[in-house]
Amino acid sequence: MDGNVLWSRYYIKSTSGSGRFYPSDIIKDDDEIIIVGEGDDGGTNYLRYLWLIKTDLDGNALLTNKYDISGTSNDGIATGLKKYDEGYIFSGTLHNGTAPTDIFLFNIDFSGNINWAKSYPFSTRWPTTGLYNTGSMAIIGNYIFQVGEKKQPDGTMKGVLMRVPLATGDAGTCDVDITCSVTSLPDNFDDFTTLVPVTCDLPFNAPILTRSKQNLSAEITCSINGFTTGDDDSKEAFDNLQSDMMTVGLLNIYPNPSNGIFNIHVDEAVESGTIMITNITGAVICQYDFFDDADRQMTLDQVVPGIYNVILLEENRSIVESQRFVVF
């Protein structure tokens, strides 16, 4: 679960020493992994077969089957794989050497042998549409449901939902039997390959906490309708709290939570601005401008217990920082 590569393998190799594989779908069946796709075992771009590879959970190849459709050099494009009680349904689109053509369905057993293979004349348009997702096929009860397109006599395309029996694949006059040879590679090729591990060191800058002692100015009493300035007598009651004040960022409120009497400190780096106090809905309770002297003792009157915001604004009224505090 830490992202390290446990193993990586190659699976198709010919006597010439090269091969290609373009996987399209993968499913887990008990302790096995089944992969379908198309590719070649001769290192060519034009000779492409359909493939089914079965491995255990450690990547050891248990079965490697090549499906070669008679009369074609580019057999098709795999799209999906579904499991059912007696094996798998393998879906895709045939290829005529230049473009995809008809839908195909293979019914294969758990050993990869073909029970039946059929194509259906639902032409696809390359490359914008077609059967290029596993969601285009479903097995429900004793039927296979497949989605595709049908070219109309006037050249337009219409979507098609096809239902065929799971046992036979018959669709009346629109199904064609596919002649296909199956070759199981006698030596399943599963060569280990080594990947270079990548370590990412994400930058992390921890906030620097500073302790500071500031002088408090006169008390400000806030009400819902505004604020008034009180006397300096209550200032001394808060002097002992200053040594415990922790400043993080430019704006600090303490104590927090409070009973409605609290202090606001703005870092000396901010020479002037506006402090605005709002409730949780954004309604302004009070506000004041400051120049140099940014330390205030506040008393909130006629407010209900809850969450409030202290917002630091620049002279152009843009928000510099916002802190929440709780009145109990």
* Span 256-291, pLDDT tens digits: 888 888 898 888 888 888 888 988 888 888 888 887
Fold of the domain built from segment(s) 210-327? Immunoglobulin-like (2.60.40)
Structural contact between residues 119 and 176, judged by C-beta atoms closer than 8 angstroms: yes
Beta bridge partners of 49: 39
Residue type, 323: Q
Residue 188 burial (C-beta neighbours within 10 Å; 0-12, 13-18, 19+): middle
Listed residue (88, 81, 118) closest to 102, CA to CA? 118
Residue 232's H or E segment, with its range, is none
Rounded Cα distance between 12 and 20, Å, is: 7
Rounded Cα distance between 163 and 139, Å, is: 10
Structural contact between residues 220 and 226, judged by C-beta atoms closer than 8 angstroms: no
Which pLDDT value is given to residue 202? 55
The reply to whether 210-327 shares the fold of 9-192 is: no
Structural contact between residues 253 and 323, judged by C-beta atoms closer than 8 angstroms: yes
DSSP state of 206: P
Which pLDDT value is given to residue 77? 85
Q: Which residue matches tokens 């809905």?
A: 281
- Listed in sequence order, the residues at least 6 apart from 204 whose beta carbon sits closer than 8 Å to its beta carbon are none
Rounded Cα distance between 24 and 29, Å, is: 17
Rounded Cα distance between 255 and 103, Å, is: 71
Rounded Cα distance between 231 and 236, Å, is: 11
Spans of the chain, pLDDT less than 50:
129-134, 210-218, 223-247
- 261-266 β-sheet, strand order: 226-229, 219-223, 296-300, 261-266, 251-254
Rounded Cα distance between 117 and 86, Å, is: 15
Phi, psi values for residue 169, rounded to 5°: 75, 5
Counting Cα atoms < 13 Å in the Cβ hemisphere of 189 gives 17
Domain boundaries, the chain: 9-192, 210-327
- Structure-derived torsion over alpha carbons of residues 72, 77, 81, 86, reported in degrees to the nearest 10: -10
Rounded Cα distance between 161 and 307, Å, is: 56
Listed residue (235, 118, 240) closest to 171, CA to CA? 118
Fold of the domain built from segment(s) 9-192? Lipocalin (2.40.128)
Structural contact between residues 304 and 285, judged by C-beta atoms closer than 8 angstroms: no
Sign, CA torsion 68/50/63/147: negative
Rounded Cα distance between 146 and 92, Å, is: 10
pLDDT digits (tens, 9 = 90+) for 116-131: 999 988 765 555 544 4
